[in-house]
């Protein structure tokens, strides 16, 4: 019979959080081996006496090989000095699913209407206080795996998550319709709220993530405010877009006119005439086609004269203007009312076409009235 044992746990299943060694009531001198990512708790006579981190240890107990035979006889072969070893897995337990078992009701903060939602996500846990977890959760059990831990904490988690979720959503500065872009903020707040609750049981809540919010699609009030929320942003976006498109259209039209003007200026340059000469030609042509103000033949200008160079046309039209607005000599006969009307019409047309100024028009009109 061995006078000392070697106690260790080489379990390959990382989901096992706590495992009790099947070797109990071991002798003084027993070797305890604790691996990295493990801790071991030594129980003596029902009390958690020592906590061991990674390494090899020689255990001192009251079970001496020779003395234990003597004491065991008095207790029917069972040692009165009971000792046990529990191994605790310190690795982080990841991808633990969670979800609310019923809807959470609160007042939507932005639009102020009652709303019911559900939530789900993932969390990661690790053991922070081995002794506390053993005493509060495991008790005298022989093991604890991740699924059993989640099952034990399901009711506890729901009792904590649901009021925290309702409180966080109701005091948030964003609405339910913006929640998809605020998952990070919501997760962070719930994580902070829940950390202390898990520490009471010797657990670290390393991460707590909200990945899904179950919205009440189809609910009349929800759909109504959802439509209002979308419209307030879509209408603004549409107005901004129309404004940008209008600016683009204006710039396009402006650029088009500039290009046309540059092309026309280049054409005049090649053909050898100016803008003023071209306008004079247009006026002369319009006067020749306007029966209301008389024909060019009545002004001493034949259409044949317009087939000459632009300079000639410009000089001719300029002469017509001079003849129209020049004052009469004392020997000239007075204008008739009909002639006065014709001359006024000619002057108006010249003014509209930019041939004469407003001041020149008024001066000529004044002199013509004097001659009437």
> What residues pair up with 145 in beta bridges, in sequence order?
16
Q: Quickly state the pLDDT bin for 334 (edges 50, 70, 90).
A: low
The per-residue pLDDT of the chain, averaged, comes to 79
Q: CB–CB of 48/131 below 8 Å?
A: yes
Mark which of 59, 89, 119 sits at the end of a domain: 89
Residue 71 has pLDDT above 60, yes or no: no
How much is the pLDDT for 34?
Answer: 94
Min mean pLDDT across 35-39, 230-234, 289-293 is at 289-293
Residues 307 and 347 occupy one common structural domain: yes
Three-state secondary structure of 95-119: EEEEECCCCEEEECCCCCCEEEEEE
Residues 178 and 257 occupy one common structural domain: no
- In whole angstroms, give the CA distance from residue 23 to residue 345: 125
pLDDT in tens, 249-285: 888 888 888 888 888 778 777 776 666 666 665 655 5
Count of beta carbons in the 10 Å neighbourhood of residue 138: 21
Mark which of 192, 216, 240 sits at the end of a domain: 216
Residues 46 and 111 occupy one common structural domain: no
E strand or H helix at 261, and its extent?
A: helix 220-271
Residues 122 and 201 occupy one common structural domain: yes
How much is the pLDDT for 366?
Answer: 82
Percentage with pLDDT > 70 across the chain: 76
Residue 77 has pLDDT above 80, yes or no: no
Residues 152 and 64 occupy one common structural domain: no
For range 70-94, the mean pLDDT: 71
Q: Measured between alpha carbons, how far is residue 245 from residues 56, 248, 252, 258, 261 in Å?
A: 77, 5, 10, 20, 24
Is residue 72 included in any domain, yes or no?
Answer: yes
pLDDT in tens, 127-166: 999 999 999 999 888 899 999 999 989 988 999 999 999 9
- In whole angstroms, give the CA distance from residue 346 to residue 324: 8
How many domains would you assign to the chain?
A: 4
Residue 77 region by backbone torsions, left for phi larger than 0, else alpha for psi between -120 and 50, else beta:
left
Is residue 164 included in any domain, yes or no?
Answer: yes
Residues 137 and 162 occupy one common structural domain: yes
Mark which of 89, 117, 147 sits at the end of a domain: 89
Residues 364 and 281 occupy one common structural domain: yes
Output 341 or 324, whichever has higher pLDDT: 341
Is residue 102 included in any domain, yes or no?
Answer: yes
Residue 68 has pLDDT above 80, yes or no: no
Is residue 62 included in any domain, yes or no?
Answer: yes
Residues 162 and 110 occupy one common structural domain: yes
Residue 121 has pLDDT above 90, yes or no: yes
Residues 75 and 175 occupy one common structural domain: no
Q: CB–CB of 91/14 below 8 Å?
A: yes
Residue 14 has pLDDT above 70, yes or no: yes
Residue 67 has pLDDT above 70, yes or no: no
Residues 256 and 356 occupy one common structural domain: no
- Note the helical H segments in 119-145: 130-133
How much is the pLDDT for 207?
Answer: 96
- Tell me if residue 288 falls in helix, strand or coil: helix
Residues 78 and 135 occupy one common structural domain: no
Count of beta carbons in the 10 Å neighbourhood of residue 355: 22
How much is the pLDDT for 280?
Answer: 62
Residues 49 and 100 occupy one common structural domain: no
Is residue 84 included in any domain, yes or no?
Answer: yes
Is residue 221 included in any domain, yes or no?
Answer: no
- In whole angstroms, give the CA distance from residue 33 to residue 36: 10
- Among candidate residues 92, 90, 202, the one with its CA nearest the CA of residue 139: 202
- In whole angstroms, give the CA distance from residue 113 to residue 94: 37
Task: Write b or e for each residue in 253-276: b if 16 or more Cβ atoms lie within 10 A of its Cβ, otherwise e.
Answer: eeeeeeeeeeeeeeeeeeeebeee
Q: Quickly state the pLDDT bin for 54 (edges 50, 70, 90).
A: very high
- In whole angstroms, give the CA distance from residue 364 to residue 362: 6
Q: Quickly state the pLDDT bin for 70 (edges 50, 70, 90).
A: very low
Q: Quickly state the pLDDT bin for 25 (edges 50, 70, 90).
A: confident
Helical packing angle, 146-170 and 183-199, nearest 10°: 130
Residue 56 has pLDDT above 60, yes or no: yes
- In whole angstroms, give the CA distance from residue 128 to residue 199: 7
- In whole angstroms, give the CA distance from residue 332 to residue 108: 94
- In whole angstroms, give the CA distance from residue 41 to residue 44: 10
pLDDT in tens, 286-328: 655 554 444 433 444 433 334 333 344 444 444 544 555 454 4
Task: Show the domain range for 20.
Answer: 6-89
First-to-last C-alpha distance (Å) of the chain? 151
Is residue 281 included in any domain, yes or no?
Answer: yes
Helical packing angle, 337-352 and 310-325, nearest 10°: 130
How much is the pLDDT for 372?
Answer: 66
- Among candidate residues 34, 183, 159, the one with its CA nearest the CA of residue 102: 159
Q: CB–CB of 67/44 below 8 Å?
A: no
Residue 88 region by backbone torsions, left for phi larger than 0, else alpha for psi between -120 and 50, else beta:
beta
Is residue 1 included in any domain, yes or no?
Answer: no
CA 284 to chain centre: 65
């Amino acid at each position: 019979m061995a006078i000392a044992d070697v106690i260790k746990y080489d379990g390959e299943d990382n989901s096992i959080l706590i495992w009790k060694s099947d070797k109990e009531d071991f002798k003084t001198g027993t070797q305890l081996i604790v691996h990295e990512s493990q801790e071991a708790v030594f129980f003596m006579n029902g009390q958690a006496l020592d906590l061991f981190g990674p390494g090899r240890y020689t255990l001192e107990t009251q079970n001496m090989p020779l003395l234990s035979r003597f004491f065991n006889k008095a207790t029917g072969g069972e040692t009165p000095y009971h000792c046990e070893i529990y191994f605790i897995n310190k690795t982080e337990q990841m991808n633990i699913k969670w979800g609310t078992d019923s809807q959470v009701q609160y007042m939507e903060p932005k639009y102020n209407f009652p709303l019911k939602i559900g939530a789900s996500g993932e969390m990661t846990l690790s053991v922070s206080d081995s002794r506390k977890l053993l005493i509060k959760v495991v008790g005298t059990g022989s093991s604890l795996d991740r699924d059993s831990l989640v099952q034990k904490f399901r009711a506890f988690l729901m009792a904590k998550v649901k009021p925290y979720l309702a409180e966080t959503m109701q005091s948030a500065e964003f609405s339910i319709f913006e929640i998809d872009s605020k998952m990070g903020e919501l997760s962070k707040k719930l994580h902070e709220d829940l950390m202390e609750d898990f520490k009471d049981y010797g657990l670290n809540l390393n991460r707590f993530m909200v990945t899904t919010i179950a919205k009440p699609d189809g609910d009349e009030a929800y759909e109504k405010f959802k439509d209002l929320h979308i419209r307030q942003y879509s209408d603004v976006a549409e107005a901004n877009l129309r404004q940008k498109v209008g600016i683009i259209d204006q710039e396009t039209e402006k650029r088009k006119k500039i290009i046309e003007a540059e092309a026309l200026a280049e054409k005049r340059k090649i053909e050898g005439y100016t803008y003023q000469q071209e306008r004079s030609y247009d006026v002369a042509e319009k006067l020749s086609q306007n029966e209301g103000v008389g024909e060019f033949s009545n002004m001493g200008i034949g259409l044949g004269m317009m087939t000459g160079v632009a300079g000639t046309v410009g000089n001719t039209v300029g002469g017509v203007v001079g003849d129209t607005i020049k004052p009469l000599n004392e020997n000239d006969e007075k204008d008739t009312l009909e002639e006065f009307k014709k001359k006024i019409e000619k002057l108006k047309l010249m003014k509209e076409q930019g041939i004469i100024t407003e001041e020149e028009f008024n001066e000529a009109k004044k002199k013509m009235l004097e001659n009437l």
